[in-house]
């Protein structure tokens, strides 16, 4: 049955047969399924918190890298079957636009394979959804956050508490360096008071939950609610024990050293981690050997929450994957229409041009002068290669190399210019306002470059249509 389908495909749709398009779509779907299970299995939400990376989703990133390598192997095997010599070249299409259609099929195949990245992200997100129920996650996250606030009393946080006080940790910063006291509901407290504690690492994206938890803890101090404080501490220590994390603080110790009404100021520090329990001067009261591994616990739940809420589809990543497929597709199609020597010379030429143009951007150190030199060099290069294409009657090999260089390099001309332009005008804006960032609504560099890259994909398609049509007209295909 497979042989009949393959023969029918060869006779009726030789271009699809040559590019193995139907088979690659099936393989691609299976690859997507494999990527999903890889992302689900190699997740960052295991029970052993000591094996977790605090700042990154290490296992997910390794899974994504492994999936990329697997996709590369699949693409190489496909490339071998695509370009190998066979006895059916006489059946290949001869129309002027067929080479462009062939490139388009190659581009679709490579793009389809590259989208497996999002399947890894989907698998990781689904793994985060299965660790806890929504209610259990919210309850544990609340306990972890509040418990950390109650035990946050080290020199690092206390020294910075007055300088950067977060009224809303998600999206606003209030500078309070001009105030000698922390004001809460009409009362004044020293900045070193436990009631002024603020965790700068937030749980939720675009949420007021962190501010709510902080305010609830402060209300316990404000109302002198020792019963609720003790209950919160016990719940926190039970959660630490559940995750095999360590502390030598107990509710009794906490009330002895930190519950000092009315200001709630303590010179006894609590350090985050058992590594802080050694070699402190006995005569120094503020270096009592108290520790709690609260950050590991909080970051674990923070990672799960953010993974559950993270959007799978990322426009910037999507465009980047499309450009990866685009660059590989131009390399493949250039190999298809060239001899190995012409193809190799074309690749080397493109790499040399990239190095030269990059060097011009940092030649003088002045953005505007370097940008002008870059544009002049780029325009000169385009004119030279267009002229080389036009002299095909005299130097056919040279013209073929010039065509390949344009096919390989043109997709990145517009994005390269856009990056340089944005850097120049961004530098001008920084000099004018003397600040690197302005809070509020604005057109970000990510949005600008993403939109330019998206529009450029359409422009590249139009340009490649004419370039590949030129190649087809010159009968540059080997074997024709």
Residue of 33 and 274 predicted with greater confidence? 33
Q: Which residue has the higher pLDDT, 348 or 7?
A: 348
Average confidence (pLDDT) over 312-335: 91
DSSP assignment, residue 286? G
Higher pLDDT, 82 or 76: 76
Rounded to the nearest 10 degrees, the angle between the axes of helix 21-41 and helix 98-114 is 20
Residue whose pair of structure tokens reads 């597709």 in the numeric block:
329
More confident residue, 178 or 295: 295
Average pLDDT over residues 79-104: 72
CA distances from 68 to 34, 38, 105, 368 (A): 12, 11, 21, 39
- pLDDT band for position 284 (cuts 50, 70, 90): very low
Average of per-residue pLDDT across 268-293: 59
CA-nearest of 196, 184, 180 to 264 is: 196
At 429-451, the pLDDT tens digits run 444 434 344 444 444 555 777 77
pLDDT of 232 > 90? The answer is yes
Across the range 190-203, mean pLDDT stands at 78
The residue that leads in pLDDT, 133 or 427, is: 133
Listed range (89-93, 184-188, 274-278, 345-349) with the worst mean pLDDT:
274-278
Q: Strand 270-271 and strand 290-291: pairing?
A: parallel
Check residue 92 and give its pLDDT: 53
Maximum mean pLDDT: which of 44-58, 81-95, 249-263, 431-445: 249-263
What pLDDT is stored for residue 4 in this prediction?
78
Q: Average pLDDT of the chain?
A: 77
Rg (CA), the chain: 31
**Using CA atoms, how far apart are residues 207 and 308, in angstroms rounded to an integer?**
14
| Max intra-chain CA distance, the chain | 94
Selection from 312, 317, 334, 304 nearest residue 409 by Cα? 334
Q: How far apart are CA 379 and CA 365, in angstroms?
A: 21
> Is the predicted pLDDT of residue 459 greater than 70, yes or no?
yes
List the structure tokens of 403.
């065509």
Q: What is the pLDDT of residue 451?
A: 79
CB neighbours of residue 12 within 10 Å: 9
Give yes or no for a cis peptide into 327 (omega within 30° of 0). Answer: no
Lowest mean pLDDT among 72-81, 157-166, 196-205, 225-234: 157-166
SS3 per-residue string spanning 35-100: HHHHHHHCCCCCCCHHHCCCCCCHHHHHHHHHHHHHHHHHHHHHHHHHHCCCCCHHHCCCCCCHHH
Half-sphere exposure of 144 (CA within 13 A, CB side): 28
Q: What is the structure's pLDDT at 54? A: 53
Helix then strand then coil, % of the chain, to nearest 5: 70, 5, 30
Among 21-25, 32-36, 209-213, 442-446, the minimum mean pLDDT is found in 442-446
Report which of residues 93 and 464 the model is more confident about: 464
* 105 vs 333: CA distance, rounded Å: 11
What integer pLDDT is reported at residue 159 of this predicted model?
57
Highest mean pLDDT among 1-15, 41-55, 180-194: 180-194
Q: Which residue has the tokens 């047969």?
A: 17
Element (H, E) at 428: helix 413-433
Q: Which residues pair with 187 in a beta bridge?
A: 184
Residue the block writes with tokens 């190998």: 84
Q: Say if CB 330 and CB 346 are below 8 A apart.
A: no
Cβ-Cβ contacts under 8 Å for 322 (sequence gap 6 or more): 111, 114, 457
> What pLDDT is stored for residue 430 in this prediction?
47
Residue 345 pLDDT level (bands cut at 50, 70, 90): confident
Q: Name the strand (E) or helix (H) holding 172.
A: strand 172-174
Among 172-186, 303-317, 392-406, whose mean pLDDT is lowest? 172-186
What's the average model confidence in pLDDT over 206-229? 85
Contacts of residue 347, Cβ cutoff 8 Å, sequence gap at least 6: 331, 334, 408
Of the spans 49-63, 158-172, 275-289, which averages the highest pLDDT?
49-63
Could you give the CA distance from residue 447 to residue 443 in angstroms, rounded to a whole number?
7
In percent, the amount of the chain with pLDDT more than 90 equals: 22
Tally DSSP H helices, then E strands, for the chain.
Answer: 18, 6
Of the candidates 315, 301, 302, the one whose C-alpha atom is nearest the C-alpha of residue 118 is: 315
Question: What's the whole-number mean pLDDT along residues 221-234?
Answer: 93
Is 378 within 8 Å of 413 (Cβ atoms)? Answer: yes
Residue 182: helix, strand or coil by DSSP? strand
Please give the C-alpha separations between residue 350 and each of 347, 401, 421, 429, 469, in angstroms, as whole numbers. Answer: 5, 10, 21, 33, 21
Categorize the per-residue pLDDT at 316 as very low, low, confident or very high, splitting at 50, 70 and 90: confident
Q: What's the pLDDT band for 283 if we cut at 50, 70, 90?
A: very low
172: left (phi > 0), else alpha (psi -120 to 50), else beta?
beta
Polymer length of the chain:
480
pLDDT digits (tens, 9 = 90+) for 29-77: 999 999 999 999 887 776 667 665 555 567 788 888 999 999 999 999 9
Where is mean pLDDT largest: 57-71, 223-237, 374-388, 423-437?
223-237
**What region does 197 belong to: left with phi over 0, alpha with psi -120 to 50, or beta?**
beta
Mean of pLDDT values over 144-169:
67
- Residues forming a β-bridge with 183: 188
Domain ranges of the chain: 1-131, 134-307, 314-480
pLDDT > 70: what percent of the chain?
72
Task: Provide the pLDDT for residue 67.
Answer: 93
pTM over cut 0.85: no
């Amino acid at each position: 049955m497979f042989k009949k389908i393959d023969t029918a495909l060869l006779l009726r749709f030789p271009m699809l047969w040559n590019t193995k398009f139907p088979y690659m779509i099936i393989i691609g779907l299976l690859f997507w399924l494999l990527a999903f299970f890889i992302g689900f299995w190699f997740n960052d939400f295991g029970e052993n918190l000591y094996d977790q990376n605090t700042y990154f989703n290490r296992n997910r990133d390794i899974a994504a890298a492994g999936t990329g390598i697997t996709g590369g192997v699949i693409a190489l095997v496909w490339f071998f079957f695509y370009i190998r010599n066979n006895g059916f070249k006489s059946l290949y299409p001869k129309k002027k636009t067929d080479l462009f259609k062939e490139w388009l099929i190659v581009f679709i195949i490579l793009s389809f394979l590259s989208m497996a990245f999002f399947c890894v992200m989907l698998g990781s997100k689904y793994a985060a959804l299965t660790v806890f129920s929504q209610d259990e996650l919210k309850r544990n996250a609340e306990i972890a956050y509040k418990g950390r606030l109650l035990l946050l009393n080290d020199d690092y946080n206390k020294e910075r508490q007055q300088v950067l006080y977060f009224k809303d940790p998600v999206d606003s910063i209030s500078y309070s360096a001009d105030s000698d006291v922390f004001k809460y509901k009409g009362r004044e407290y020293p900045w070193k008071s436990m009631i002024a504690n603020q965790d700068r690492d937030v749980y939720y994206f675009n949420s007021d939950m962190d501010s709510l938890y902080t305010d609830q803890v402060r209300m316990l101090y404000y109302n002198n609610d020792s019963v609720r404080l003790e209950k919160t501490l016990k719940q926190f220590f039970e959660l630490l024990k559940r995750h095999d994390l360590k502390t030598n603080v107990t509710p009794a110790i906490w009330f002895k050293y930190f519950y000092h009404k009315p200001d709630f100021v303590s010179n006894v520090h609590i350090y985050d981690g058992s590594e802080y329990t050694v070699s402190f001067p006995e005569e120094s009261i503020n270096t009592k050997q108290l520790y709690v591994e609260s950050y590991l616990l909080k970051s674990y739940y923070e990672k799960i929450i953010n993974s559950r809420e993270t959007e799978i589809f990322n426009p910037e990543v999507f465009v980047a994957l499309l450009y990866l497929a685009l660059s590989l597709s131009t390399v493949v199609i250039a190999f298809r229409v060239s001899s190995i020597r012409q193809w190799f010379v074309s690749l080397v030429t493109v790499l040399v041009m990239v190095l030269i143009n990059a060097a011009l951007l940092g030649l003088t150190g002045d953005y505007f002068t370097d940008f002008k030199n870059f544009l002049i060099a780029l325009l000169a290069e385009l004119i030279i290669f267009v002229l080389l294409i036009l002299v095909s009657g005299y130097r056919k090999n040279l013209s073929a190399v010039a065509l390949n260089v344009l096919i390989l390099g043109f997709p990145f001309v517009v994005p390269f210019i856009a990056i340089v332009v944005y850097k120049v005008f961004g530098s001008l804006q920084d000099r004018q306002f003397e600040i690197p960032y302005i809070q509020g609504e604005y057109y970000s560099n990510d949005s600008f470059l993403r939109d330019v890259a998206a529009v450029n994909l359409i422009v590249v398609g139009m340009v490649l249509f004419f370039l590949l049509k030129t190649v087809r007209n010159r009968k540059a295909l080997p074997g024709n």
